[in-house]
Amino acid sequence: MNSALNSAVVRNPAFIFILSIAFCVALLMVERMVGIGWDYHPDAKYYLGTVETVETVETVETVETVETVETVETVETVETVDNKPNPLFSLFFKSFLYQEIIDVLGNDLTYAIIFNVILYALTNVGLVTFYYKTRASKNNDILLLLFILVILNPYRTHLAVHVLKDTLIIFSLVFVALGSRVVSLTSLVVLYFTSVRSLVYLVAFFNVTKRNTLALSIFSIAILLTIPEIFTKAWSLGQVNMNFREYDLIPNFIEYEALGPFLRFIMWPFFSLTGLFAVFNPYSLFMPVAFGSFALQYWCFKQYGRFAFYLPIYVSMGLMAFMVSGFTSYTRYTLPLLTILPILVIKKQLKNE
């Protein structure tokens, strides 16, 4: 049975591809039945052109500074009265690719979801193929099934069946980690022009592959050229209460003012990696998110006898926590890091063997 399962599931990418699509369709049907519509995430309306700007905004006034913070993405603009943006910031920080793709698809809801689902399935094919080629499965059915359970993360599947750019971000980041030099560099370009926050994700590749030199160089140059704006925006975002969902009860330490972002930097990655945030909020919609973390840690423990932890990932997640003060948004922005964590753990294990 061991060899049969490995052959059917892993050696045949079509099986994983079809399984992934079937899982997406099943989840989409369940969501519609329980009342989660296509516009559950406000950015879907923006991408499909039904609204010109994101609907929900939070306005925070401090002394003579008015900061407008969007609830979606990583908040592209934080404007101050006397602070004009550095032209280099506009040059280096563009996030337009996903919107262009949706425009090419005619801003059609069905086509947009199909596009996302195909990317989701291709990502899963890449992950499982990598798992098998590294012989991490050890011809063990249980380990293989656990790994498939990890990649069929319910929250990642949820994002795939909505018009959100997260699936393209995850697809690109995975192939930055898995691809050949050409594929990796191409994926890096796609990743960068899909989301400005990809700069934070590059920290995760430190000491993993030879490509980290190039990735960290790009990161460092961009930061050095735009450091005033980066620091201002990151600090401003960290001071704004972004708990926009009524079920987001995870402590964001906003009451500690300047200390709050640093507390999130330390605590939130731990919450996200372990799924222990469910202790603070056992709300039903948060449980699939926690399940993804539980499955990841259980697989890693069964595979290597230890829990999944990789310091560069933790630092990258901490940087995101520094900028985002709502845990719902945080789980979404750090999901790409959780997706590539098994890759980095396996590569590290192979390096140590």
Q: What is the pLDDT along the chain (353 residues), one digit of tens a residue?
A: 455 555 555 568 899 999 999 999 999 999 999 999 999 888 898 899 866 554 433 333 333 333 333 334 433 333 333 444 444 444 445 578 999 999 999 999 999 999 999 999 999 999 999 998 887 666 677 888 899 999 999 999 999 999 999 999 999 999 999 978 899 889 989 998 998 888 889 888 876 555 555 555 566 556 545 555 555 565 555 555 555 566 667 788 887 877 888 899 999 999 999 998 887 776 667 788 899 999 999 999 999 999 998 888 999 999 889 888 888 889 999 999 999 999 999 988 888 76
Gap between the Cα atoms of 127 and 163, Å rounded: 23
Gap between the Cα atoms of 51 and 215, Å rounded: 35
Q: Cα–Cα distances in Å, from 188 out to 127, 143, 180, 308? A: 17, 30, 12, 25
Helix H or strand E segment including 89: helix 87-92
Gap between the Cα atoms of 274 and 98, Å rounded: 31
pTM: 0.82
Type of residue numbered 77? T
Residue from 311, 309, 315, 353 nearest 334 by CA: 315
Gap between the Cα atoms of 162 and 110, Å rounded: 10
Residue from 192, 143, 144 nearest 305 by CA: 143
Paired tokens of 243:
């708990």
Residue from 199, 209, 205 nearest 233 by CA: 199
Query: What contacts 24+ positions apart, CB below 8 Å, involve 136-145?
Result: 136/303, 136/346, 136/349, 137/6, 137/10, 139/2, 139/3, 139/6, 140/2, 141/1, 141/2, 141/5, 141/6, 142/302, 143/299, 143/302, 143/303, 144/5, 144/6, 144/9, 144/10, 145/5
- For 212, the 3-state DSSP assignment is helix
Query: What pLDDT score was predicted for residue 61?
Result: 33
User: In this structure, are strands 57-62 and 65-70 parallel, antiparallel, or unpaired?
Assistant: antiparallel
Domain hosting residue 44, numbered range: 2-352
CA dihedral of 169, 170, 172, 176, whole degrees rounded to 10: 130
| Burial category of 60 from C-beta neighbours within 10 Å (exposed 0-12, middle 13-18, buried 19 and up) | middle
Q: How many domains does the chain have?
A: 1
- For 61, the 3-state DSSP assignment is strand
226: Cβ contacts below 8 Å, ≥ 6 apart? 86, 88, 89, 92, 93
